[in-house]
């Protein structure tokens, strides 16, 4: 749509206010955090020194940092493997419009209306080793041998936390895919049916490619959400036991705000930013290229 030359400024005028707010609250603080990561600021004292890459050197020698990285990696993998296919599966099921599908959609959607703090607190009760719903149910149905110290066992605590987060993420994916499915061209699906494709082939060769834009969003959002995970970790375990469930966001928070190491915390934030940025760039680029090819 060509705008008259007199009105070329109209889009910029509309964008100006949100862009300014975005710049003040997001862009500028990002650059300031980058700057702080090269200092030894404790977050309190107005005086601080430039110390170059010392914070990053300290990070490389920090065992808690590597524990956090490993845990973030677990979060990313699990967030890619579980919510996306499960969300898609639920969306496909609910798209069939069986009787009661609206009720199911609402019920499955409910976790998304809860704040992470509430989700964390309730799941902490569910995971309580003695009185929590999970262990008592397992024992009641004769699977007592499977009971665990869900939040105490350092080997499984991160997976317990991820479980609570995935419970909330699945409805998010489901909504995304339900919207994406509406954009699938039904005539293509019918043409495939006429050509003799079975339901799996229709799904794999017609529906799934048509869902590509939704897939991009789903994966990007999942990766970002997994790297952002803070509330659930902070509320359910505080990063413990002894930092075995800590993630970068949690570690950054504790170091910056509890331990008076704002410069060091900024360095952790920079690392987290670079990881997130890397994922997004690679994935979006790859898919944009594929879209252009199509």
Partner 1 sequence: MLFLKKVILAVLVCVFVISGFASRIIVNSYMSDPAPRQTFTELVKMFEEQNPGYEVVVNTFAHEDFKTLLRTWLGSRNAPDVVTWFAGERMRYFASRDLLAPIDEIFTNGFGNEFPEAFKSASYYQDKAYFVPQSWYWWGMYYNTEVFEELGLKVPVTWDEFIDVCETLKVNGYIPITIGTRYLWTTGGWFDYLNMRVNGLEFHEEFTAGKVAWTDPRIRKVFEYWGQLVNNGYFLENHSSYDWQTAANDLFSGRAGMYLMGQFIKDVAPDNVKDKLDFFRFPVIDPNIGLYEDTPIDGFMVPANARNKEGAMKFMEFIASQNAQQYFAEELGRLAAHRNVPAVDDHAQDGLNMILESDGVMQFYDRDTDPQMADRGMNAFVEFMMFPDRLDRILQTLERERQRIFR
Residues that bind partner 1 (CB under 8 A): 43-46, 58, 63, 124, 127-130, 149-152, 154, 237-238, 240-243, 254-255, 257-261
Q: Which is nearer to partner 1, 186 or 258 (CB)?
A: 258
Q: Which is nearer to partner 1, 165 or 254 (CB)?
A: 254
The answer to whether 37 and 55 are in contact (CB under 8 A) is yes
- Closest approach, Cβ 256 to partner 1, in A, equals 9
Distance CA 93, CA 170 (A): 14
Instruction: Report DSSP state, residue 46.
Output: S
Distance CA 269, CA 71 (A): 16
Q: Which is nearer to partner 1, 64 or 197 (CB)?
A: 64
- Closest approach, Cβ 254 to partner 1, in A, equals 7
- Three-class secondary structure of residue 200 per DSSP: helix
Q: Kindly provide the residue ranges of all beta strands, DSSP E only, lying in 70-144, ordered along the sequence.
A: none
- Closest approach, Cβ 152 to partner 1, in A, equals 4
Q: Which is nearer to partner 1, 111 or 240 (CB)?
A: 240
- Three-class secondary structure of residue 211 per DSSP: coil
Q: Which is nearer to partner 1, 106 or 155 (CB)?
A: 155
The answer to whether 272 and 255 are in contact (CB under 8 A) is no
What are the tokens at 185?
């061209």
Count CA atoms within 13 Å of residue 158 on its CB side: 25
Q: Which is nearer to partner 1, 227 or 254 (CB)?
A: 254
- Closest approach, Cβ 129 to partner 1, in A, equals 5
Q: Quick one: 59 exposed, middle or buried, by C-beta within 10 A (0-12, 13-18, 19+)?
A: buried
C-alpha 217: how far from its chain's center?
Answer: 11
Residue labelled with tokens 């994935």: 283
Q: Which is nearer to partner 1, 111 or 154 (CB)?
A: 154
- Closest approach, Cβ 240 to partner 1, in A, equals 6
**In the chain, how many H helices and how many E strands?**
16, 0
- Closest approach, Cβ 78 to partner 1, in A, equals 21
- Closest approach, Cβ 157 to partner 1, in A, equals 9
Bridge partner residues of 209 (DSSP)? none
Q: Which is nearer to partner 1, 156 or 280 (CB)?
A: 156
Distance CA 219, CA 228 (A): 14
What are the tokens at 1?
């749509």
- Closest approach, Cβ 132 to partner 1, in A, equals 9
What are the tokens at 291?
């879209």
Q: Kindly provide the residue ranges of all beta strands, DSSP E only, lying in the chain, ordered along the sequence.
A: none
């Amino acid at each position: 749509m060509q705008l008259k030359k007199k009105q070329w400024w109209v889009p910029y005028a509309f964008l100006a206010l949100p862009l300014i707010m975005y710049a003040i609250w997001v862009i500028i603080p990002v650059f300031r955090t980058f700057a702080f990561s090269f200092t030894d600021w404790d977050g309190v004292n107005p005086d601080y020194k430039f110390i170059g890459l010392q914070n990053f050197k300290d990070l490389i020698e920090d065992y808690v940092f590597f524990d956090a990285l490993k845990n973030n990696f677990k979060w990313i993998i699990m967030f890619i493997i579980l919510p996306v296919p499960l969300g898609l599966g639920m969306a496909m099921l609910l798209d069939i419009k069986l009787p009661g599908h609206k009720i199911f959609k609402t019920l499955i959607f409910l976790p998304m209306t809860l704040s992470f703090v509430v989700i964390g607190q309730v799941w902490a009760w569910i995971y309580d080793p003695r009185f929590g719903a999970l262990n008592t149910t397992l024992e009641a149905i004769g699977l007592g041998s499977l009971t665990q110290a869900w939040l105490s066992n350092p080997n499984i605590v991160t997976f317990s936390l991820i479980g609570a987060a995935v419970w909330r993420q699945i409805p998010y994916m489901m909504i995304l895919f339900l919207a994406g499915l509406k954009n699938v061209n039904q005539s293509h699906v019918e043409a495939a049916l006429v050509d003799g494709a079975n339901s799996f082939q229709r799904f794999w060769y017609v529906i799934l490619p048509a869902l590509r834009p939704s897939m991009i969003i789903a994966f990007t959002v999942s990766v970002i959400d997994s790297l952002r995970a803070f509330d659930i970790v902070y509320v359910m375990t505080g990063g413990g036991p002894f930092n075995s469930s800590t993630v970068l966001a949690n570690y950054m928070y504790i170091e910056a705000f509890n331990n008076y190491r704002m410069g060091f915390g900024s360095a952790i934030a920079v690392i987290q930013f670079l990881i997130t940025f890397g994922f997004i760039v690679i994935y979006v680029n790859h898919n944009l290229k594929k879209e252009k090819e199509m």
